[in-house]
Structure 1
Amino acid sequence: MNTQRTFLLNLYLRGVQMRRITLKDIADALGLSVSTVSRALSGKGRISRQTIELVERKARELGYIPNTIAKGLKTRKTNTIGVIIPDITNPIFPGYARGILDAALKQGYQVFILNFDMSKAKEKDAINSLLSSQVEGLILTSTKLSRQELLELRKRGVPFVVVRKDVRLPGTSFVNVDNIYGGYIATKHLLEIGKKKIAFIGSRFSGEPARKRLKGYLKALKERGIDIREDIIVEAESSFDGGYRAIQKIFDRVDGVFAYNDVMAIGVLVFARERGIKLPEELAVIGFDDIPVSSLPIVNLTTIKQPMYEMGQQAFITLMKLMNDEENVFKIWLKPELVIRGTA
């Protein structure tokens, strides 16, 4: 019985099809040493072209997958990064993730994405899990970590970039959207189309994005000399139901609404249509984010487009610079833009 048939029989008898193919399996199949197979696949050492092609062909046949993490333990380079996001079901986060993934692919990097459900404890667990997998850097999206906790993370020696948070911390890089400007241009547009009783329906005013969008809203009203009415500034849950319930309380006092995000704005639209309120004549509505559903004809929501894909790409590019030992700190602000559709 020849070497290959013997190897295949042993492979079957050992049930090796249920485990990962190793360098030893390739070596046994070809009657070569493990070191020869290793050198052939790594391109290191003096190996003939014929042997390299033979080993590569057999590796493909057997379904060999290189263990990049094990390799990284030796070289200290795994070509992997970790991305931590708060809620994968939130329609804005796939945009960030896709931007990161596309930019990483161009540089030959793999991306591990973990979800932390807006829980600081889960976020810390996710960070530890990724660092134990030897990732070269981290992208933290909407992090819940405090200044002190971010400082402690820096001491662990792994580069990281924060997305969607203005981190006032020396030596820490971030990528963010200009939320003040976004709130300003949304409210300014409502004023320009003749609305004067404009509500702001926000989420968690203690959080940075809502606080800054509110600041932009107030700035636009003050520029026009319009009195600030606290009774139409409403804090609500960041959800469809949150927007729906908020407008229920104030619909008879307003002719325009700037909602914290598109999901809340859609809740406002549904309530208005159920009540027979004409859009945008009797009530104009603007959201924030420009999630995919907002452009559907049945929704047709005027909104502030957040450059999520571009932010993801910039986050990866910034992380690459940090991983390449650039000592600069990068604070990147991207401008949102008004997308006019049928609701305002």
Structure 2
Amino acid sequence: MNTQRTFLLNLYLRGVQMRRITLKDIADALGLSVSTVSRALSRKGRISRQTIELVERKARELGYIPNTIAKGLKTRKTNTIGVIIPDITNPIFPGYARGILDAALKQGYQVFILNFDMSKAKEKDAINSLLSSQVEGLILTSTKLSRQELLELRKRGVPFVVVRKDVRLPGTSFVNVDNIYGGYIATKHLLEIGKKKIAFIGSRFSGEPARKRLKGYLKALKERGIDIREDIIVEAESSFDGGYRAIQKIFDRVDGVFAYNDVMAIGVLVFARERGIKLPEELAVIGFDDIPVSSLPIVNLTTIKQPMYEMGQQAFITLMKLMNDEENVFKIWLKPELVIRGTA
């Protein structure tokens, strides 16, 4: 049985209330001074190898966890960052979070991740909570904050990077995917396989990603001299049901669909299969994101892959540069790529 499990079991058997183990607890257990224990754990000052090993062994037995935040109050360095995500249930974000975590681990940083449910009020609360925890920097994902609110955040002296939003604010660094290019290559592919009546099923056209993917869609059509038909540009809820209901309205007028995301595209696929519409001969469908389910044989969705893992890594690398007092402003655009499967 490992040390941590032994420690937890001992607490249970003794009926001891769990609390943070302190340097004093270790010192009392060994009959040493707190200063000696502190020097042993930090390996600073004149102290024997035998004492260091003794203290470290007892610290492990007791389940001691160093309080990095308390250290940070003295050194102004806590080796922690905060990440704010709009919807942790969205299947595009696990890969993104993993990119941040892997990059942070290599640099010895811990990551606090908070969810804000696309609510500006919750986002502000999350920022305040992270700042009160003495994080060294912030990664704001799909932020709802206005330009003025971002300026106010900057005045608080904590470096931050904005991700998945094109921030037109001088001095603000961001990492984003080129949504115009993504919309363009999706529509261009549909045109290249012979489709001419191509619908765009989008979500929240007022939002930046949908607006830019629509712009790429329109660009590809104009290049081919295809007339723009507003009757097959449909705004819908960003969900399976949203895609399903949208294609219901227009399926007899189109031979191709570019959907805002994979979840909506899967709604389109289900409707088409229920109606006996042949894919991709009668209706070709392309999504956006390349979520894990899209590659399953039963789905086999052609899509535009967002480099979410790379986006997470770039977000952390950029934040590290800012935290190290680099004065440059970083504007990083990542290219999505077409993944061809069975639906287009």
TM class by smaller structure: over 0.9
**Partner SS for 1:271:** helix
User: What's 1:49 paired with?
Assistant: 49
Q: Distance in 2 between matches of 1:15 and 1:171?
A: 55
Q: Distance in 1 between matches of 2:228 and 2:7?
A: 80
Post-superposition Cα deviations, 1:230-263, rounded to whole Å, max 9, x if no partner, equal 0000000100000000000000000000000000
The answer as to whether partners of 2:178 and 2:334 remain within 8 angstroms in 1 is yes
Q: Distance in 1 between matches of 2:170 and 2:214?
A: 26
Q: Distance in 1 between matches of 2:5 and 2:274?
A: 73
The answer as to whether partners of 2:183 and 2:215 remain within 8 angstroms in 1 is yes
Q: 1:223: Cα distance to partner?
A: 0.2
Q: Which runs of 5+ in 2 are unaligned?
A: none
Q: Distance in 1 between matches of 2:28 and 2:87?
A: 46
Q: Distance in 2 between matches of 1:274 and 1:6?
A: 56
Q: 1:49: Cα distance to partner?
A: 1.3
The answer as to whether partners of 2:183 and 2:216 remain within 8 angstroms in 1 is yes
Post-superposition Cα deviations, 1:34-61, rounded to whole Å, max 9, x if no partner, equal 0110111011211111111111111111
Give the stretch that moved more between structures: 9-18 or 101-110: 9-18
Q: TM-score, normalised by structure 2?
A: 0.96
Q: Distance in 1 between matches of 2:6 and 2:338?
A: 68
**Partner SS for 2:111:** strand
The answer as to whether partners of 1:3 and 1:29 remain within 8 angstroms in 2 is no
Q: 1:10: Cα distance to partner?
A: 13
The answer as to whether partners of 2:3 and 2:61 remain within 8 angstroms in 1 is no
Q: 1:332: Cα distance to partner?
A: 0.1
Give the stretch that moved more between structures: 118-127 or 8-17: 8-17
The answer as to whether partners of 2:201 and 2:233 remain within 8 angstroms in 1 is yes
Give the stretch that moved more between structures: 285-294 or 62-71: 62-71
**Partner SS for 1:161:** strand
Post-superposition Cα deviations, 1:50-81, rounded to whole Å, max 9, x if no partner, equal 11111111111111111111111111111000
Q: Which runs of 5+ in 1 are unaligned?
A: none
**Partner SS for 1:18:** coil
Q: 1:4: Cα distance to partner?
A: 19
Aligned CA RMSD, in angstroms, stands at 3.5
Q: Are 2:325 and 1:325 equivalent residues in the alignment?
A: yes
Q: 1:147: Cα distance to partner?
A: 0.5
The answer as to whether partners of 1:244 and 1:268 remain within 8 angstroms in 2 is yes
Q: Distance in 1 between matches of 2:272 and 2:88?
A: 29
Alpha-carbon spacing, 1:311–1:4, altered in 2? closer, same or farther (3 Å)? closer
Identity of aligned residues (%): 100
**Partner SS for 1:341:** coil
**Partner SS for 2:17:** helix
Q: TM-score, normalised by structure 1?
A: 0.96
The answer as to whether partners of 1:7 and 1:29 remain within 8 angstroms in 2 is no
Q: 1:7: Cα distance to partner?
A: 15
The answer as to whether partners of 2:137 and 2:158 remain within 8 angstroms in 1 is yes
Q: 1:176: Cα distance to partner?
A: 0.3
Q: 1:280: Cα distance to partner?
A: 0.2
Q: Distance in 2 between matches of 1:108 and 1:243?
A: 43
The answer as to whether partners of 1:286 and 1:301 remain within 8 angstroms in 2 is yes
**Partner SS for 2:82:** strand
The answer as to whether partners of 1:8 and 1:29 remain within 8 angstroms in 2 is no
**Partner SS for 2:108:** coil
**Partner SS for 1:17:** coil
**Partner SS for 1:117:** coil
Alpha-carbon spacing, 1:191–1:8, altered in 2? closer, same or farther (3 Å)? closer
Aligned length: 344
Post-superposition Cα deviations, 1:57-111, rounded to whole Å, max 9, x if no partner, equal 1111111111111111111111000000010101011111010001001111000
Q: Distance in 2 between matches of 1:274 and 1:162?
A: 41
Post-superposition Cα deviations, 1:238-292, rounded to whole Å, max 9, x if no partner, equal 0000000000000000000000000000000000000000000000000000000
Q: Distance in 1 between matches of 2:181 and 2:204?
A: 19
The answer as to whether partners of 1:4 and 1:30 remain within 8 angstroms in 2 is no
Alpha-carbon spacing, 1:157–1:257, altered in 2? closer, same or farther (3 Å)? same
Alpha-carbon spacing, 1:40–1:236, altered in 2? closer, same or farther (3 Å)? same
Q: Distance in 1 between matches of 2:227 and 2:8?
A: 82
The answer as to whether partners of 2:11 and 2:18 remain within 8 angstroms in 1 is no
Q: Distance in 2 between matches of 1:5 and 1:330?
A: 45
Give the stretch that moved more between structures: 214-223 or 12-21: 12-21
Q: Are 2:82 and 1:79 equivalent residues in the alignment?
A: no
Alpha-carbon spacing, 1:316–1:216, altered in 2? closer, same or farther (3 Å)? same
Q: 1:17: Cα distance to partner?
A: 5.1
**Partner SS for 1:218:** helix
Alpha-carbon spacing, 1:6–1:299, altered in 2? closer, same or farther (3 Å)? closer
Q: 1:15: Cα distance to partner?
A: 5.9
Q: Are 2:188 and 1:188 equivalent residues in the alignment?
A: yes
Alpha-carbon spacing, 1:240–1:258, altered in 2? closer, same or farther (3 Å)? same
Q: Distance in 2 between matches of 1:334 and 1:181?
A: 10
Q: Distance in 1 between matches of 2:199 and 2:12?
A: 70
